[in-house]
Amino acid sequence: MIVANRLPVDRVTLPDGSKQWRRSPGGLVSAMEPVMRSNDGAWIGWTGVAGDETEPFVDDGLSLVPVPLSEQEIQEFYEGFSNGTLWPLYHDVVAKPEFHREWWDSYVTVNQRFADRAAEIAAEGATVWIHDYQLQLVPQMLRELRPDLRIGFFLHIPFPPGELFQQLPWRRQILEGLLGADLVGFQLSGAAQNFVRLVRQRVGHKTHRDLVYLPDGRTVLAAAFPISIDTAGFEELARSESVTERAAQIRAALGSPKKVLLGIDRLDYTKGIYPRLRAYSELVKDGHFDVTDSVFVQVATPSRERVEQYRVLRDDIDRLVGRINGDLGRIGQPVIAYLHSAYPRHEMAALYRAADIMVITPYRDGMNLVAKEYVACRYDNDGALVLSEFAGAANELRQAWQINPYDINGMKATILEAAHSDEKDRARRMKAMRKTVTEHDVASWANDFLAELAAVRPTHGKPVRPARLS
């Protein structure tokens, strides 16, 4: 059973008033959906709409169990504590986190609701896999209700260093909440180490390497499981005739330029969209790219639009794109083709196929699955990936052209290097990265996590490290 804040589908109201289910945004859903399709089980989550009391239902073969959130809970639990406190705090304080006691109270209430629902429907001895920063109290709450369950937790976003985490007034409760799980998974091993160190310092439990020993005799393992994508599925889509045709159409619609650069992100201040567009515009201004034969396509998927920091970001990007195109564009030839919209997988695959250079420049990112999707779609071993060293994916995609998004001149130089690279160099890098995402796809990620969870046993007495499966 999966427990995540969002269901894999969102309920949307069309202009004619009719309602429809649409795929939810973000990396968590794109990763977990294929995993759930190949396993039986239920998915507990929110439908994305205030006060939605929809009964459990089956959508496209998936058993979905909605948990309702009121308008006030959306403001305090979702937009407030999850995305106004935890999200910026866990992403290196790129924006200033706000701490409000009412937001915390709502976080506790909503986490309890998710735990109650999971406890109600989980079969005896079932495996429950809880996801992400919105639900960090659920493991402990669920264990209290159902000690028979095997509980795993995976954090999709970074886990911050102790110096930042300690700002949180409720730091101890969050750590204890996570310790309700048998296995706590992170994207990177540094995050798991941060967690174990904090548990030792703040909660006072005994720890040894990646294990925490609880006073009740349980052992909790904290380890890294870098998430991935449905690599074969993306490649198959990319090879399809309709995606090939669509990619050609996209290039033609852009005026058949020599170079297409591409950015695809949720419109989020962690993604480094602003410095990326500035870097590119300066390259155009300096004459390194010519607006008549190159274009930067930036897709920004609307996200968390009522949260103040996201509104400010949207205005900033709108203004920047307007200024760049106004100053440097020509009739029918913008410097930046900016799309504020969400696209289905098919269109994304066509964009990846159409792009010569993919530019991904987050200030901090748990993984960044777009980077892996681009690689999966480049079965021709062509295309250049420019990737921030602060994305989790940089750990595995070492052959990408890596940049520091805080260093605009460095980023400009690296984008130019990628643009002027020879075919052989690009093929060598892309082949190596394709090997990585082929060998390590989302199915193997889920298998590794679930196998490790199955191997975790409560120990009484002498601590024993559960066998780490390879």
| Residues binding ligand G6P (CB under 6 A) | 6, 25-28, 132, 156-157, 303-304
Helix (H) or strand (E) holding 2: strand 2-6
Which residue number, 1 or 29, has a Cβ lying nearer to ligand G6P? 29
- Taking the CA atoms of the chain, what radius of gyration do you get in angstroms? 22
Q: Among 32, 57, 79, which Cα is nearest to 306's?
A: 79
Which residue number, 6 or 251, has a Cβ lying nearer to ligand G6P? 6
Q: Among 391, 396, 347, 403, which Cα is nearest to 375's?
A: 396
Which residue number, 362 or 383, has a Cβ lying nearer to ligand G6P? 362
Rounded to a whole number of angstroms, the minimum distance from the CB of residue 363 to ligand G6P is 15
Let me know: does 295 contact 255? Beta carbons within 8 Å: yes
Phi, psi for 355 (deg, rounded to 5): -95, 130
Rounded to a whole number of angstroms, the minimum distance from the CB of residue 25 to ligand G6P is 5
Q: CA 393, CA 416: separation in Å to the nearest integer?
A: 22
Distances from the Cα of 409 to the Cαs of 98, 232, 383, 398, in angstroms? 32, 37, 22, 21
Token digits for 357? 């250079």
Which residue number, 392 or 405, has a Cβ lying nearer to ligand G6P? 392
* Residue in the structure block whose two tokens are 């540094």: 190
Rounded to a whole number of angstroms, the minimum distance from the CB of residue 20 to ligand G6P is 17
Q: CA 139, CA 128: separation in Å to the nearest integer?
A: 9
Rounded to a whole number of angstroms, the minimum distance from the CB of residue 195 to ligand G6P is 17
Which residue number, 70 or 421, has a Cβ lying nearer to ligand G6P? 70
Nearest residue to ligand G6P, scored by beta-carbon proximity: 26
CB atoms within 10 A of CB 167: 13
Rounded to a whole number of angstroms, the minimum distance from the CB of residue 4 to ligand G6P is 7
